[in-house]
Amino acid sequence: MPSKLTPLEIYKITPKTNCRKCLLPSCLAFSAAVVAGSKKLKECPHLKSEDIQPLEKQLAKTQEQPALQAAFLDKLKGKVARLDFPKIAKVLGCTVLGDELSIISLGKKFNIDSQGRMTSECHIIPWVQAPILSYITHKTHMDITGNWISFRELKGGIDWQGLFTSRCEQPLCKLADRNPELLTDLIDLFMGQETDTKRYEADIGLILHPLPHIPILICYQEADADLESSLSIFFDECCGHNLHIKSIYTLCAGLVKMFEHIALRHE
């Protein structure tokens, strides 16, 4: 189990009865509260000590993350304050609205002011906020090339390949196996587009734009006879020039977690 726990990983060990004895409306809400630090695992009367003990150290590490994230975001906001929005907007594929930079992520609009403060009609969460600020403050930039490459081919990708496979491609493949309509649903939800998959020998090819010049291609092959299902995520060659590899990983891992929440609601 990874060192950083998520609500879904806590949810797996709960009874899933929504008994409300923890004073929250559902087991999923309780799981989210545990990860956030506002609830303790022992507040669920159905969990045994042998369920709780292995998770306590992981929870402590997970709950250290907000402070680290806040420090990183403050550093990025300091860089934003030095940007010339009108000068960089066109290069980044953004627009300027008054004194703010407006950027589209998965079809949703996010506005950033000169202090790095972000507003949107959507809920703003760290895995979205940090990559957006990293993207607009990145020192180099390249236009979309149309040349798709694997994660390991991106600059620094080899060092992150293991995590990317285990936290992004493998979980998303399992989601697609359990929810055959999920990938096509994402087209409508996040302004994605289907694409020709002959080159990748896939049943479904889906292009998403988490950021204007960070397009990703998800290729999924269903199980067939003796062949297991497979899923690969490709990136336009420009991605490695437009965003640091850690931010690319964070963005993709966050997307998969969001897709898990969507699939959980459907299930």
Per residue in 8-34, pLDDT tens? 888 889 999 999 998 888 898 888 888
Q: Say if residues 94 and 112 touch (Cβ distance below 8 Å).
A: no
Q: Which residues of 8-27 are buried (b: 16+ CB within 10 A; e: fewer)?
A: bbbbebbeeeeeeebebebb
The CATH number given to whatever domain includes residue 18 is 1.10.15.40
252 inside domain: yes
* Distance linking the first and last C-alpha atoms of the chain: 23
Establish if 1 belongs to a structural domain. no
Mean pLDDT of 227-233: 94
Domain limits at 56? Answer: 7-63
Total number of domains in the chain: 3
> Over the stretch 91-122, which tens digit does the pLDDT of each residue have?
999 999 999 999 999 999 999 999 999 999 88
105 and 204 housed in the same domain: no
Are residue 153 and residue 128 in the same domain, yes or no? no
Report the distance separating Cα 27 and Cα 33, nearest Å: 10
Q: What are phi and psi of 182, to 5 degrees?
A: -60, -50
* Same structural domain, 164 and 206: yes
Q: Quick check: is 70 in a domain? A: no
How far is CA 10 from each of CA 19, 162, 174, 240, rounded to the nearest angstrom? 16, 23, 18, 34
Residue 72 lies in a domain: no
Domain boundary among 35, 63, 91: 63
Where does 5-153 show beta strands of DSSP type E? Answer: 95-97, 100-105, 108-112, 118-120, 148-150
38 and 89 housed in the same domain: no
Q: Point out the domain boundary residue: 101, 118, 137.
A: 137
Shared domain check, 262 and 167: yes
Q: What is the pLDDT of residue 2?
A: 44
